[in-house]
Amino acid sequence: MLTIEKYGAIDIGSNAVRLLISSVHEEKGKTTRFKKTSLVRVPIRLGADVFLTNKVSEENINRMIDTMQAYQLLMKTHKVVRYKACATSAMREAQNGKDVVALIKEKTGIQIDIIDGSNEAAIIAMTDLHELINSDATYLYVDVGGGSTEFTLYHNGQTIDSRSFKLGTVRLLNNVVSETIWKEVEAWIKRVTAMYPRISLIGSGGNINNIFKNSGKSIGKPLSFLYLSTYYELLNSMSYEERIWELNLNQDRADVILPATRIYLSAMKWSNARKIYVPKIGLTDGIIKSLYSEKLNNN
């Protein structure tokens, strides 16, 4: 007998706040299916506050409350039976982060968990990544966010190493990433990939998804280092307004896409990767899978 339940996942990032609603299809003797029903994104850009002032501003606290009230209603109308809300880099660094979480709980009923970088990487790893990874190949998974980037090295289907760095698009836009951080990332990537001669990247995040969509590549086909570096040069040659008009980018994408591309290109260079695969997965997908895993463990 087929049973269908809806789960909700809220990702409170440094650049945007996302709600993913997925239908979970279960039938005895068959592999459970996860079908995306709705995805909503609000570009609040908490990192622009926190990385400069160490606090979430009054204006953005109010926008957060409005967004969570809207998400609460969306989940109610979709008949979501379980959900989880996770906040990442900006909220964990905000001096008033816990106060904001408490206020949102009071105003909307939504409980937010502030997670660290290792938890973030672990949740993302719960996605369908294993279906994309060849068991006899090596991949560096790179998830670029507004406040941090999570790196995970996979070899022969196993996780070899994982690390989160305070290297994100909103931080870079606000010039709060030191040269030391770049050097730490470079050293880590070179160290963990040194013994693997053939490596491909797996990229996740809204920016690489946008680049892949505009490339016209078929799903499952990788982008080359040459394509990505050429696209980076194109982005760099344009003004912010030109990226919006000529490339049809959203205004909250047109600025962060440049530093994001720089991070992916740097990771490819330091790991000697020539290809980057772009599955459409991220933290919200991992949250949905973690909710399902909790349900199975509790039964």
Q: Are 137 and 151 in contact (CB under 8 A)?
A: no
Q: What is the pLDDT of residues 185-230, one digit of tens each?
A: 999 999 999 999 999 999 999 999 999 999 999 988 999 999 999 9
Q: What is the pLDDT of residues 241-282, one digit of tens each?
A: 999 999 999 999 999 999 999 999 999 999 999 999 998 888
Q: What is the mean pLDDT of the chain?
A: 94
**Which band of pLDDT confidence, cut at 50, 70 and 90, is reported for residue 128?**
low
Q: Are 271 and 157 in contact (CB under 8 A)?
A: no
**Residue 124's pLDDT is what?**
78
Domains 3-118+284-298 and 129-281 share a fold: yes
Domain topology for 129-281: Nucleotidyltransferase; domain 5 (3.30.420)
Is the pLDDT confidence value at 154 over 80?
yes
133, two tokens:
């990874």
DSSP annotation string for 86-111: EE-HHHHH-TTHHHHHHHHHHHH---
**Residue 60's pLDDT is what?**
97
Domain topology for 3-118+284-298: Nucleotidyltransferase; domain 5 (3.30.420)
Q: So where are the chain's domains? A: 3-118+284-298, 129-281
**Residue 85's pLDDT is what?**
98
Structure pTM?
0.92
The Cα–Cα gap between 146 and 21 comes to: 22
